[in-house]
Structure 1
């Protein structure tokens, strides 16, 4: 499986917390302090872990099963984005999440180009029908 985007988000958050404690960063300069919270990262990480578990069990030749897994993770991420008023998925996070979903599908043996084409989509559009973020 590819590295979850949450790993990088947590790293940025912890790095800026350390800089803040050391006095080398002013709070107003800490973009990660505003962009991420522990609960936001934990919720996203949990949704992605569940997606990974689903992919480990899905038949890569079953479009309904594969798209069901994608739908479930995207809807979970929609809820996280909506219900964490203290954080949200901005452009960078959206791109990272879409790339992660694509790489996870490929890692599970799914031909995402063919999957998308069978449904009249481009590869990068697989999440679009459910995605609010």
Structure 2
């Protein structure tokens, strides 16, 4: 299964905590806990749980159902971002979330490049129609 961005973010928090504990990181340079508060991680994971539950139903290749699933996950992530003062997902996080959605669909047998091309979109424009973050 595609690795969730939240897994990566939690790993970064743990690595930073280890560096702080070892004294190899100046506390003034620590930012991971601030960037990724537990509430944000839990909310993002809840959204991704729903998306992952939808994935097996998309293997049939119905374009409308695939786009509907993408729309739902993106709109739910918009709500998480909004709840965190529109700054939950910065550039790196946006890229990770979009890559995760693409990879998760691909693992289900969805040809994302072909799907988006049918709509005159580039592969990396899959989420753009609905994404505010």
- Give TM-score scaled by structure 2 length: 0.90
What is the CA distance between 1:22 and its match in structure 2? 4.8
Is 1:80 equivalent to 2:80 in the alignment? yes
Structure 2 CA distance, aligned partners of 1:91 and 1:84? 15
Contact 2:61 2:110 survives alignment (8 Å):
yes
Partner of 2:9: 9
Give the RMSD, CA atoms, in angstroms: 1.8
- Would you say how many aligned residue pairs link Structure 1 and Structure 2? 133
Structure 1 CA distance, aligned partners of 2:86 and 2:122? 33
Partner of 1:57: 57
In the superposition, relative to structure 1, how do residues 127 and 96 fare at CA in structure 2: closer, same or farther (>3 Å)? same
What is the CA distance between 1:15 and its match in structure 2? 2.5
- Unmatched tracts of structure 2, length 5 or more: none
Partner of 1:113: 113
Contact 2:59 2:108 survives alignment (8 Å):
no
**Secondary structure at 1:96 match in 2:** helix
- Unmatched tracts of structure 1, length 5 or more: none
Partner of 2:124: 124
- Give TM-score scaled by structure 1 length: 0.90
